[in-house]
Structure 1
Amino acid sequence: MEIVVDSHTHTIASGHAYSTIIENALASKNKGLKLLCTTDHAPEMPGAPHYWHFNNQRILPRFLHDVGILRGVEANTLNVEGQLDLPPSSYQHLDWVIASFHEPVFTPSTEEVHTRALINVIRNGQVDVLGHLGNPNYPFDIEAVLKCAKEHNVAIEVNNTSLTGKSRKGSDVRCSRIVELGKEIGVYFTTGSDAHFCEEIARLDLAKTLLSQHEIDESKILTTSTTRFLNFLLLRGKPRIEEFSHLY
C-alpha cells in the first residue's frame, strides 16, 4: 500500500511542535508524498495560534518543494453540542478540517456524552474527518458514530501516533475495532502521522499495517491517491482547487 498524502501534521504554530511548514514540506518531498495537510491546533488548545493563523492560510503557496499544500486545522470539539473552536469566517479558508477530543479542552466524560458530541460534530457539517478516535479516555458507541459518519461523508482517521504507545496509550485495541467496524459499515479512512517534528512526516507504517490486517480496500483509504483525496473534498462540497488540476 502506497500512501501519498499525510492528512494530519503540525508546525511550530501549534506551540508544542518543532518544525516549520517549509521543513515539513521538504520532508514530505523527500519521503515521496504528493500532498501535505497542515493542520495546526485550533485556538482553545493551550499554546495554539489565534484564529487569524487559519483565516490567513490563503497566503500559503499551493506548492512548497513541489508538494501540494492543503490548508487545514485540527479543531477541538468543545461540548456535547459538537461546537468547534473556530469562528464561522474561518471555514471558507480551509480545505481540510479535523475534529478531535483533547483533554485540556473537553474533559473526558461518559460514553453517552462522547457519542452525542461526535454525532453532533458530524451533523454540524463543518468537519471532514474525525481525529484519533482510539483514545481510551473517550469511549463512544463506535457503531452509531461510524454509521453517522458514513451517512454524512465524514472520514475516519487512523492516527499513526496513537498506535505507537507513546501517546494516547491503549488506543491500539480500540483503533483495531474502529477499523473492523468501519470496514463493515463502509466508511472512508485517512492516515495521519500527527507529526509534531518534520522527521515524523509520512511515518505511517503502523496505520498501514492495521488497515492491511483488516484488508481495507484501497478505494476506501483516501490517502492512497491524490485523485481519491481531492475528489473526497469535492464530495464534501469543497471548491475545486485549480492549482491541483493535474492531481484530480
Structure 2
Amino acid sequence: MKIVADLHIHTVASGHAYSTILENVTAAAEKGLEMIAITDHGPDMPGGPHAYHFGNLKAVPAELFGVRILKGVEANVIDLEGNLDLPVDRLSSLEIVLAGLHTVCSPNGSVAENTQMMVNAMKNPWVDAIVHPGNPEFLVDAETIVKAAVEYDVALEINNSSLKVSRVGSRPYCENIAALAKQYGAKIILGTDSHFALAIGDFSQAIEVLEKYKISPDLVINTSVENVLHHLNRRSNRKSSVN
C-alpha cells in the first residue's frame, strides 16, 4: 500500500519534538511524499505553543520542494465532555484538526468514561481524525468508537509510533480497531507521529497491521492527496460552532 501523505507530524514548537518545519518538509520530499500536515500539540501540552502560534501558521508556505503543507494541530482533549484546548476560531482556521487523549492533559476514567470522552471529541465539527485511539493508557470500547467514527465521519489513526517507539502495548488495541474499521467501513489514516524528521514517511508497522487484516486502500484516506482533500472538504457542510 502506497501512502502519499503523512498527516501527523510535530516540530520543535511542540516542546518535545526536535525538528523544524523546514527539516520536516525536506525529509518528506526526500521520502517522495506529496503532502504533510504540521500538527503540533495544542497549548495545554507542557511546553506546547501558545494559541497564537496556530493563528500565525499562515506564514508557512502552502508548498515547498513539491510537498503540499497542511497547517493543523494535534489538539488535546481536556475533559470528559470532549472539549479541546483550542477555541473554535482557531480550529476553524486550520486545514486539519487531529484530536487525542494525552496523559498530562486528559482525565483518565473508566472504559465507559474514556469512550464517551472520545466520542464527544468526535462530535466537534472541526475534528478530522482521532489519533492513537488504541492507546492502552486510555482504554475504550473499540466497537463504540468505530461506530461513532462512521456516524460523525471522523477518521481513526493507526499510529506508527505507537507500534514502534511509544505507547507500549498498543498493538492489540490498534489491531482491534483496524479489524472493526474494516467491518464497519470506518475511515483510517496512517500517521508517523514524527517527533524527529527521520521518522517521517515510515509507516512500516502500521502497514503491517493493515495487511494483517486485509484492509482495503479505499478505507485509508492518505493513499492519495485527492482522498485527503475530499475528507477535509466535508467541513464545508459543518456548522461554525461546536454543539
Offset at residue 238 of structure 1 (A): 7.8
* Count of residues in correspondence between the two structures: 238
Which residue in the other structure is 2:212 paired with? 213
In 2: Cα distance, 1:238 partner to 1:125 partner: 9
Say yes or no: does 1:23 pair with 2:23.
Answer: yes
Unaligned runs of 5+ in 1: 240-248
Say yes or no: does 1:185 pair with 2:203.
Answer: no
Which residue in the other structure is 1:125 paired with? 125
Amino-acid identity (%): 41
Offset at residue 124 of structure 1 (A): 2.3
CA contact (8 A) 2:80 2:107 kept: no
Which residue in the other structure is 2:228 paired with? 229
How big is each residue's C-alpha offset from its partner over 1:139-165, in whole Å with a ceiling of 9 and x where there is no partner?
11111111111011100001000001x
194-203 vs 101-110, greater mean Cα deviation: 101-110
The amino acid of 2:78's aligned partner reads L
Q: Which runs of 4+ in 1 moved over 3 A?
A: none
CA contact (8 A) 2:18 2:196 kept: yes
In 1: Cα distance, 2:88 partner to 2:140 partner: 27
TM-score, normalised to structure 1, is 0.93
Secondary structure, in 3 states, of the residue corresponding to 2:43? coil
Which residue in the other structure is 2:113 paired with? 113
How big is each residue's C-alpha offset from its partner over 1:150-189, in whole Å with a ceiling of 9 and x where there is no partner?
011100001000001x311100010000000111010000
153-162 vs 55-64, greater mean Cα deviation: 55-64
The amino acid of 1:157's aligned partner reads E
Q: Compared with structure 1, are the counterparts of its residues 65 and 235 closer, same or farther at alpha carbon in structure 2 (3 Å cutoff)?
A: same
For residues 4-83 of structure 1, the aligned pairs below 5 Å read 4-83=4-83
Which residue in the other structure is 1:140 paired with? 140
The amino acid of 1:200's aligned partner reads A
Secondary structure, in 3 states, of the residue corresponding to 1:81? coil
CA contact (8 A) 2:92 2:126 kept: no
Unaligned runs of 5+ in 2: 239-243
Offset at residue 107 of structure 1 (A): 3.3
Secondary structure, in 3 states, of the residue corresponding to 2:83? coil
Q: CA RMSD in A?
A: 1.2
Secondary structure, in 3 states, of the residue corresponding to 1:223? helix
How big is each residue's C-alpha offset from its partner over 1:107-148, in whole Å with a ceiling of 9 and x where there is no partner?
322101101101111112221000011111111111111111
CA contact (8 A) 2:128 2:154 kept: yes
In 2: Cα distance, 1:58 partner to 1:17 partner: 21
In 2: Cα distance, 1:16 partner to 1:238 partner: 35
In 2: Cα distance, 1:43 partner to 1:236 partner: 23
Say yes or no: does 1:100 pair with 2:129.
Answer: no
In 1: Cα distance, 2:8 partner to 2:93 partner: 17
Say yes or no: does 1:87 pair with 2:87.
Answer: yes
The amino acid of 1:124's aligned partner reads N
Secondary structure, in 3 states, of the residue corresponding to 1:108? coil
Offset at residue 88 of structure 1 (A): 1.8
TM-score, normalised to structure 2, is 0.95
In 2: Cα distance, 1:116 partner to 1:133 partner: 13
In 1: Cα distance, 2:237 partner to 2:18 partner: 30
The amino acid of 1:225's aligned partner reads S
CA contact (8 A) 1:108 1:138 kept: yes
Which residue in the other structure is 2:241 paired with? none
CA contact (8 A) 2:158 2:190 kept: yes
230-239 vs 143-152, greater mean Cα deviation: 230-239
How big is each residue's C-alpha offset from its partner over 1:10-50, in whole Å with a ceiling of 9 and x where there is no partner?
00000111110000000000001000000000000000000
